[in-house]
Structure 1
């Protein structure tokens, strides 16, 4: 590159300066290779156009693409490089195989700026969100899988590319979401809530540690949470959740106490700690609340005890490691306008979440019914709540998630939709526009699963091989309702399998068929193991569980669980935009 610096250093300096100036105008950024921090991407959204700026630690070519699933095949790709003479070559490409991507006949990626210095290549390019070219990919709201690559040398000519080798990868990003406000007030303070966990050989461990909430000297607002991940342990931490409790728990007794779930010494008091304050998932960033709201601590009715849950995933069965990861709490004495509330929607973690094997797109739904929501609002004289953020959660089989909103039999625009959900990237997202939820509204969380690689039924459960279907909402004003969820009733499943008459068996402590005779007395688990699943059976099973009776959880901060049965709702029309 010596000739480049000798002959066109002034041009390069101008280009790099331009790129540096443009840097301040970008609203989002991320390292696409967070472990190495060699490929830094910035981006911004302008109406129907998105602009990217890639800063990569190479003096060779740079590649970037929009992928359907994190794989090269089917990706919409742009490649570019700056020559020794300062010329830039940039091409719109597509990949139909794992080989050199083809140059697209329609060049829809637009180069806006480029340059090199002694260590990095800078490329700035833009494109429309929606393109009519069949080889391009539309960029949608929700999770986008991007791929990246680079080489340490320039190609021999403008259209050539050499194999990139190991300098490649994929990452999930929320390209179109509202940027988080990370500007902190001058008086911001922090508390670190950290584990001291000696890693067990088991693959799945839910680890809990108690923390006494310090005396803040009065009410404060928590305005952000950040993950504190011990270097090298990022891959073993699936999620970290912070809870408060339904009962009064002695904070002095349990401060610093740690236990695995289901251990003999697990405190009975901790079973009431079901009020989730924050949820961080693998691949996510920190959570920074909008300027108008914060989580209240230090006030007369605020929690005095936190319980942190960490899901450790250890498929290699490593031992001899101590993990000290956790959560950082950022708080301020400059109180914001509203106290935040946090509510969990969707389905309870239970064996009544059942997904047949071989399913391409099996849909489950958990409903927050008006009975629960309206009662909670009336008890606190609240006419409506404002939803400002959403957090989705499933496990490995999850592919899509959606939060639907129904009022007076009419489906309103979805509160949140992620048609490309990624288990390894689960982030709390601020909404582009606040959503008002009124008394009488339904809130429905739909999860779509793919189990084509499984031969057995997948049940709801805690391990990553089992499944969950959650949708958490951040809202104001705060209220005591913490869970508003539903699961299919077991009688509905039995009906789907052919039962014509069902009863509760005290001997089995479960629902069983009476008729037909060949099914009599058998539990749902026994019947499921004998099914020869085909597409018709899967579809019948899905339809019945979504339209039959449900068991509903309506859990408030200061009451026990209320459970009852309720039929499915009717939606008068489809959503007002294409699915």
Structure 2
């Protein structure tokens, strides 16, 4: 059964406000524990490396039934020294040739009036917009979803049939200005009785300060629809506008038309009433797989979000549950509506549901596995029979009467793939020890140490085919570094323009190989410059996380590989000289089931 690697100790306590303020004032000392202050992200990571990183090293946790003995593994690790990857110099690309048929499609508005198609090329990207208007249309790329600082393409078809496009930029909420350097090439267009259609291309990088550089990162696409063509240099205010976050480069999610052997299993929340006195609710519910007669692979899923509740459903996790004699522990809970996750009423056996099979977050469209891999289900076939669904609900306005039946649709088949697949979670342990001070730009770091990959991975390693980066509201830039033999490998999972409201799994163009002895470093860059109080790690939307979910094959005995600052560094940071009965306190916390208290190695 899957295990996990966790480093260090988590303080499962509510810090008094006075201690919290002291903790922030002395937070420079927590640099040694994996966080770093910076007024600019560019020097934050180097600052951490220079100061050193000394959490406890990850050890591995593997579950083998109910007869378990615990051995505490507490050794220090330092921030690994390695030769950093040197970024390739940027080049100003120019249009080379018209791309082939357009590959991807997105509806930008809620009424289906604005459709964007695009094909990413090596040097350029080709767009086609199909808009229900006989006036002008706008398509732009924004740093934050607003007009100020955005790069905008304006286009229209004159009454005489001439197709016009203009490379523009916006300085605020006013008519965009024409770029000094025109980097958009018109490829075609027309207008009929109902629609204006334009096709054009532009380089990924134009070396034009008035343009927005496009890449594999998330981009906030802004759009506008006008009812009339411009009159000379004057353009009337748009009738409709909006924004949608997308990734333009790399493979996109598409739900294929499955063959008849593929069946689906809908896992839905049982009409949960979201409280009007909580801004965040985590709700957990137990499920059992449908009857199967032979080994079965899960090959994909899509979210099912109840109409009208999109603003409330933040993420859904679907965990495997592993206990010896699982039916005795879990069958009795199947008819129960559920319980608040991690609360006092959550059954103890549910805490053994820790291996994620599905990780969906707001903005995601779903996942489809490659043709050679599938997640096994059924204990007798190397998977799980019982699962726990965790839904994170947001209710920031404390609305009354919100009832939800959202969930996921899981696709499975008896037509087996070549490899059993798994999901590995890496990064920073979810804990209040993770601290982001107010009025600062900050970096948190999570390590999956080489000792863990050495222990759990096969000699040939594992192949990662897709990944999902996850942080909360303060997240601005997330990435996963891979270190092998003291050298950093090319980064395959990153987003330098992270959007909390768009968390789509990234499909790798080339699979990422993780070998025994490799180290993985998850870095999360936060911007708390507009917050006046400290932020802490936790499950709430206003709290923070720093995680990456990696889908890979072949499946191994490893589900979590994460680190956190050691409690000694935190206590030093708030000038605590002595803790009485420290061992006893930790022992009590462990007895109460706090799974992140110490680094564990479990044996039969």
TM-score by length of 2: 0.77
How many residue pairs get aligned? The number is 490
Aligned-residue RMSD, C-alpha: 2.4
Q: Distance in 2 between matches of 1:345 and 1:507?
A: 28
After superposition, the Cα gap between the structure-2 partners of 1:191 and 1:24, relative to the gap in structure 1 and judged at 3 Å, is: farther
After superposition, the Cα gap between the structure-2 partners of 1:124 and 1:492, relative to the gap in structure 1 and judged at 3 Å, is: same
1:319-338 Cα distance to aligned partner (Å, 9 max, x none): 22321111000112221121
Q: Distance in 2 between matches of 1:36 and 1:160?
A: 28
Match of 1:223, SS state, is strand
Q: Distance in 1 between matches of 2:412 and 2:99?
A: 29
After superposition, the Cα gap between the structure-2 partners of 1:509 and 1:148, relative to the gap in structure 1 and judged at 3 Å, is: farther
The alpha-carbon deviation at position 504 of structure 1 amounts to 4.0
Q: Distance in 2 between matches of 1:84 and 1:553?
A: 71
Q: Distance in 1 between matches of 2:569 and 2:523?
A: 18
Match of 1:481, SS state, is coil
Q: Does 1:128 align with 2:207?
A: no
Alignment of 1:212-231 (within 5 A): 212-231=288-307
Q: Distance in 2 between matches of 1:286 and 1:456?
A: 35
Which residue pairs with 2:176 in the alignment?
101
Work out whether residues 488 and 551 of structure 1, in 8 Å CA contact, stay in contact via their aligned partners in 2: no
The alpha-carbon deviation at position 62 of structure 1 amounts to 0.7
Q: Does 1:73 align with 2:154?
A: no
Q: Distance in 2 between matches of 1:255 and 1:466?
A: 31
Q: Distance in 1 between matches of 2:550 and 2:507?
A: 10
Which residue pairs with 2:12 in the alignment?
none
Which residue pairs with 1:282 in the alignment?
362
Match of 1:492, SS state, is helix
Alignment of 1:531-550 (within 5 A): none
Which residue pairs with 2:454 in the alignment?
374
After superposition, the Cα gap between the structure-2 partners of 1:449 and 1:505, relative to the gap in structure 1 and judged at 3 Å, is: farther
Q: Distance in 1 between matches of 2:145 and 2:545?
A: 23
Which residue pairs with 2:46 in the alignment?
none
Which residue pairs with 2:118 in the alignment?
43
Structure of greater relative contact order (alpha carbons < 8 Å, 6+ residues apart) = 2
The alpha-carbon deviation at position 134 of structure 1 amounts to 1.3
Q: Give the unaligned 5+ runs of structure 2.
A: 1-97, 587-595
Match of 2:351, SS state, is helix
Q: Distance in 2 between matches of 1:42 and 1:411?
A: 36
Work out whether residues 145 and 173 of structure 1, in 8 Å CA contact, stay in contact via their aligned partners in 2: yes
The alpha-carbon deviation at position 182 of structure 1 amounts to 3.0
Q: Distance in 2 between matches of 1:125 and 1:506?
A: 70
The alpha-carbon deviation at position 23 of structure 1 amounts to 12
Q: Does 1:270 align with 2:350?
A: yes
Match of 1:226, SS state, is strand
The alpha-carbon deviation at position 508 of structure 1 amounts to 11
Which residue pairs with 1:528 in the alignment?
none
After superposition, the Cα gap between the structure-2 partners of 1:107 and 1:553, relative to the gap in structure 1 and judged at 3 Å, is: farther
1:434-473 Cα distance to aligned partner (Å, 9 max, x none): 1111111100100001111112221111111111110111
Which residue pairs with 2:268 in the alignment?
194
Q: Distance in 2 between matches of 1:344 and 1:422?
A: 20
Match of 1:488, SS state, is coil
Which residue pairs with 2:391 in the alignment?
310
Q: Give the unaligned 5+ runs of structure 1.
A: 1-21, 512-549, 562-579
Match of 2:311, SS state, is helix
Alignment of 1:161-560 (within 5 A): 161-165=235-239, 167-180=240-253, 182-186=255-259, 187-195=261-269, 196-201=271-276, 202-248=278-324, 249-250=326-327, 251-257=330-336, 258-262=338-342, 264-298=344-378, 300-360=381-441, 362-377=442-457, 381-496=458-573, 499=575, 502-506=577-581, 559=602
The alpha-carbon deviation at position 154 of structure 1 amounts to 2.0
Q: Distance in 1 between matches of 2:104 and 2:580?
A: 57
